[in-house]
Structures are given as C-alpha cells and as structure tokens.
C-alpha cells in the first residue's frame, strides 16, 4: 500500500483526479475510485461504491470483496444502513463499531456478524446539479476491526469524494450520450427495415414501433433491437405485424 498523503496534498489529489477523468466509462471509473480509495485509506480492508438509479433504486456497482456486496444487500433488504439514509445533508458517516451503533441497530448487528465492525461512508455529490439529483451514490470503506477509521481518514475521503464525484458525473454523461446516439441509430435502422418490408413512410414506421412499445410495455429501443434481429416484430402472442400495421394506418384519435 502507498503511504497516506496529507489531506491538503494538492498534487496527490490532482493526480488521482486526472487518472479518474481518464477512464472512459462509468464502470471503469467506479473501479478506479475503489482502487484509489483503498490506497488513500490503507487501514480499510474492503471498499464498495453504491449508485442511485432511477426511481430511488440503489445498486452496488463495485465491491472489492464478497462481504461488501452482502452487507450492501442487507441494507437494501432491511431498508436500513448508511446507504439508505434519506437525508442528503449528512454527507458522511463514521462508524467505529457497527454492533454498537444506535442509528442502524438491525443492520449493524448483522454486519458485525459478517465480520464488518468499522465503516466510513461518504456521499458522492455531483457538481452543478439541482438538489434532487445531487447525490450520485456513496463510497464505502469497511474493516473488520473496531475503531479503525479516524477523523483524518474521514477528511481525506471527503476531499477525495469531490474529485471522484466529478469524474463519475462526467463518465455518466458520456455513457448517456453514447447510449442515446446508439439508440437513435438502432431505431433508424429498424424504421428502414419496416419501411422496406411493409412499404411504410418514415413517420408510420416509427408509429408502429411506438405503439408496439406502448402495448407490450417494452422500451422503444428494445423494440427496435427486436426488429433489427428478426427483421420484423416477432412476438407471436400479439397480433400479427400486419394487423399492427393496419391499426397504425388508421388516423389517431384526437387527444
């Protein structure tokens, strides 16, 4: 393990930030965040990163050990633990003994049974986002000994989390743009297939897929992938593609 840097060592954190921003995807960025956090706080034995997804779902996207994933899964199951805290203003949690922490008595006792006794959890807060979307997730450090983490560890991790959240937000934006571009390309190809197969116009080919998506509760992008893969709308449990086409050829009812 590398020697712990002082919390104000600007050159060290600038180097960490540069490495994080060099990662091209969210998945690689969170893996690098986990690696760097364990170097930053070498007393920690394990590390995990949780991210907030749509509709409030929380997901463990990287874990340095299976016990991290199990501890996080217990938080989701019990709806209790530092990652489940609804208060965004708290920012960080320092747990010296999970078995004795009164904030999460059920989860803490279960974590202690798994051999996790100390915890340092710091929120990853995106820069320049509105308050409802500010918290991307959390960086969590774990250890099997009581009282492992100090206030210095917390300060150092908070500073690191600022750089980590900035890099993560940038990676997510790039991932989102690339996904959107790919989805538009995929939908365009599917439209071309339906146009050629059934003699549809560009607008009608899109309407076929849009209605199919609505009727089946399948995302439009996935419908387009089905068309590209099978050269048709292949679900046999639904009306035939030709019936779908006849339906969409009728004028839409006024809103």
What's the token pair of residue 150? 């100090």
- For the residues of the chain, what is the DSSP string, one character each? -PPPPPTT-HHHHHHHHHHHHT--SHHHHHHHHHHHHHHHSTT--EEEEEEE-GGG-EEEEEESSHHHHHHHHHHHHHT-SGGG---TT--EEEES-GGG-TTSHHHHHHHHHTT--EEEEEEEE-TT--GGG-EEEEEEEEESSTT---HHHHHHHHHHHHHHHHHHHHHHHHHHHHHHHHHHHHHHHHHHHHHHHH---HHHHHHHHHHHHHHHT--HHHHHHHHHHHSS---TTSPPHHHHHHHHHSPPPP-
Q: 179, 150 in Cβ contact below 8 A?
A: no
In a shared domain, residues 76 and 167: yes
In a shared domain, residues 61 and 172: yes
Count CB-CB contacts under 10 A for residue 224.
Answer: 25
- Rounded to the nearest integer, the mean pLDDT of the chain is 84
Tokens 């995302």, residue? 219
Above 50 in pLDDT, residue 236?
no
In a shared domain, residues 154 and 205: no
pLDDT of residue 133: 52
In a shared domain, residues 146 and 52: yes
List the one residue out of 76, 57, 60 whose CA is nearest residue 68: 60
Taking residues 211-215, what's their average pLDDT?
A: 86
What's the token pair of residue 29? 């960025």
In a shared domain, residues 144 and 230: no
In a shared domain, residues 152 and 235: no
pLDDT of residue 2: 47
Above 70 in pLDDT, residue 155?
yes
pLDDT of residue 10: 76
In a shared domain, residues 83 and 138: yes
Q: What is the CATH number of the domain that holds 37?
A: 3.30.450.40
Q: Is the residue at 241 inside a domain? A: yes
Above 80 in pLDDT, residue 130?
no
Q: Is the residue at 184 inside a domain? A: no
Rounded to whole angstroms, how far apart are CA atoms 232 and 241?
A: 7
- Window from 86-90, 128-132, 209-213 with minimum mean pLDDT: 128-132
If 0-12 CB within 10 Å is exposed, 13-18 middle and 19+ buried, where does residue 172 land? middle
pLDDT of residue 241: 46
Q: Is the residue at 183 inside a domain? A: no
In a shared domain, residues 32 and 135: yes
Q: Is the residue at 245 inside a domain? A: yes
pLDDT of residue 249: 46
| Per-residue pLDDT tens digits for 163-210 | 999 999 888 888 777 777 888 888 999 999 998 888 888 889 888 888
Q: Is the residue at 219 inside a domain? A: yes
In a shared domain, residues 25 and 131: yes
Domain holding 243, by residue range, is: 200-249
pLDDT of residue 106: 96
In a shared domain, residues 96 and 30: yes
| Per-residue pLDDT tens digits for 37-59 | 999 999 999 999 999 888 778 99
pLDDT of residue 253: 42
Q: Is the residue at 182 inside a domain? A: no
Q: 194, 205 in Cβ contact below 8 A?
A: yes
Q: Is the residue at 5 inside a domain? A: no
**Chosen domain end from 132, 160, 176:** 176
Q: Is the residue at 192 inside a domain? A: no
Q: What residues contact residue 20 under an 8 Å CB cut-off, 6+ apart?
A: 29, 32, 33, 36, 163, 164, 166, 167, 168
Q: What percent of the chain has pLDDT over 70?
A: 84
In a shared domain, residues 62 and 101: yes
Number of domains, the chain: 2
Q: 138, 120 in Cβ contact below 8 A?
A: no
**Chosen domain end from 124, 142, 176:** 176
In a shared domain, residues 86 and 143: yes
- Window from 99-103, 106-110, 207-211, 240-244 with minimum mean pLDDT: 240-244
**Chosen domain end from 176, 208, 230:** 176
């Amino acid at each position: 393990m590398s020697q712990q840097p002082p919390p104000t060592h600007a050159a060290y954190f600038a180097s960490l930030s540069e490495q994080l921003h060099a990662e091209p995807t969210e998945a690689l960025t969170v893996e690098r965040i986990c690696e760097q956090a364990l170097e930053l706080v070498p007393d920690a034995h394990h590390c995990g990163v949780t991210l907030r997804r749509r509709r409030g779902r929380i997901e463990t996207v990287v874990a340095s050990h299976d016990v991290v994933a199990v501890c996080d899964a217990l938080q989701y199951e019990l709806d209790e633990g530092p990652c489940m805290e609804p208060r965004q203003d708290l920012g960080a949690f320092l747990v010296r003994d999970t078995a004795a922490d009164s904030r999460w008595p059920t989860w803490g006792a279960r974590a202690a049974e798994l051999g996790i006794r100390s915890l340092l959890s710091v929120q990853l807060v995106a820069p320049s986002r509105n308050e409802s979307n500010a918290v991307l997730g959390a960086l969590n450090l774990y250890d099997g000994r009581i009282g492992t983490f100090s206030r210095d560890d917390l300060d150092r991790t908070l500073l690191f989390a600022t750089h980590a959240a900035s890099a993560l937000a940038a990676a997510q934006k790039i991932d989102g743009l690339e996904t959107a571009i790919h989805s538009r390309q995929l939908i365009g190809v599917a439209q071309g297939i339906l146009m050629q197969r059934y003699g549809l116009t560009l607008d009608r080919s899109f309407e076929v897929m849009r209605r199919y998506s609505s009727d089946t509760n399948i995302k439009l992008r996935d419908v387009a992938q089905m068309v590209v893969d099978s050269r048709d709308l292949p679900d046999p449990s639904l009306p035939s593609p030709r019936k779908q086409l006849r339906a969409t050829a009728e004028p839409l009812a006024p809103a």
